[in-house]
Every structure is written in structure tokens, then in C-alpha cells.
Amino acid sequence: MIDYLRNKTKELIDSPYVYPVLATMSFLESIIVPIPLETILIPLMQAKREKIWFLAGAATLGCILGAMVGYLVGYFLFDTFAEQIASLFSDPQQLQQVTSKMQQKGFWYVLSIGLVPIPFQIAMLAAGAAKFSFFMFILATLIARSVRYFGLAILVMIAGNQAEAMFKKYKLPTTIVITVLVIIIWLVL
């Protein structure tokens, strides 16, 4: 699958549809498909450095649109299809715990889920199910996903063609540091 994505990325680099395709892939990643978007985004950014901020923006926009869909599914359909929805992304008990946290600390919860390696679909559904403020949900999503995609752009600007190797090498330690920081923030708040 990863090799297939890399080959498709090479075709996409010179395509006039690079931005809509990237936004669509980000949209799909955020709602249903566990595509490692970094696998596509980093090589695109390396090949099109002059358009790096537009690529990060397209990925962020796609994710925001996907988050809106996930929120609306949680808002309008959660009560009717709670068990089926929960079983798609996690177990029902985990989604119930997330919904409870959402009611207590919604903005910070969405922001933290968007930064740590937890499926973001859980936050989207829980925010909608808890009837959390749509504006605050989108704001937290925008911040979290901007950190993710524009952070990759900064990595590519600094590391150049070594960015993909650096990302792979430091992904786990970076994830651990971010997760620990999020936990500390949760304990303080």
C-alpha cells in the first residue's frame, strides 16, 4: 500500500489537480480511511517547495471538512446509531468516555486528540454527540491540524530532501514528547 501511494504521489506532483486531490485525501483520512497522509505529503512538499504552504493548507482544509462531517454525524446520528458508530472506530465504552470528557473540557480535548496518535474520528463523533460548540470544535481542529501539516512544511523547509528520513526516525520520540506534554497540560487544567 505504501509503495502504491508513493508511485501515485510521483504522478500527482506535476498534476494540475494536486491541491484538490490532496484535500480529498486529507478529507478521507480524517473521516474513514487510515491513510498515512505524511507518506504522500512530505514527498509532495519536497518536490514542490515553492508551493509548500499551499500544500499544507490543502491538507488542513481537507481535514477540516472531514471533521465537519464527523461532527455532524455525531450530532445528528449518534443517539440513533451509537453502537454501530462506536464499533467502527473503537469500542462503545471508549467512545462514551470520550463523550464524557468532551462535555467537561471540549476545546482542550479536541485539541489534544488532534495532536496525539489517537484516531481523530473519536473526537469528531464525541464532539457532535456531546453537542459541543461547533465553532470551538472547528477552532481546536484547525489549530491541531495546522500544527500537524504546517509542522511538516517547516520540517521540509529545514531538512530539505532529508525530511522524510528525519520524520520516520523521530516520529516515535516526537509523538511521545507531544503526548507527555498533552498529559501535563491535562493535569494542570
A 10 A CB-CB count for 43 gives 20
pLDDT at 1 over 60: no
72-129 pLDDT, tens digit each = 988 888 777 666 666 665 566 666 676 677 777 778 888 887 877 677 887 888 888 8
| Confidence band for 6, pLDDT divided at 50, 70 and 90 | low
Work out the average pLDDT over 48-58.
93
- Using one digit for the tens of pLDDT, what is the confidence trace for 135-177? 999 999 999 999 989 999 999 999 988 888 887 787 777 777 7
Q: Residue 161: its pLDDT value, please?
A: 87
CB count within 10 Å of CB 100 equals 12
pLDDT at 5: 62
pLDDT score for 138: 95
Average pLDDT over residues 64-73: 94
pLDDT at site 2 = 60
- What pLDDT does residue 111 have? 83
- pLDDT at res. 139: 95
Q: Average of pLDDT values for 50-70?
A: 94
- Residue 69: predicted pLDDT: 94
Specify the pLDDT at position 116: 75
pLDDT given for residue 32 in this prediction: 80
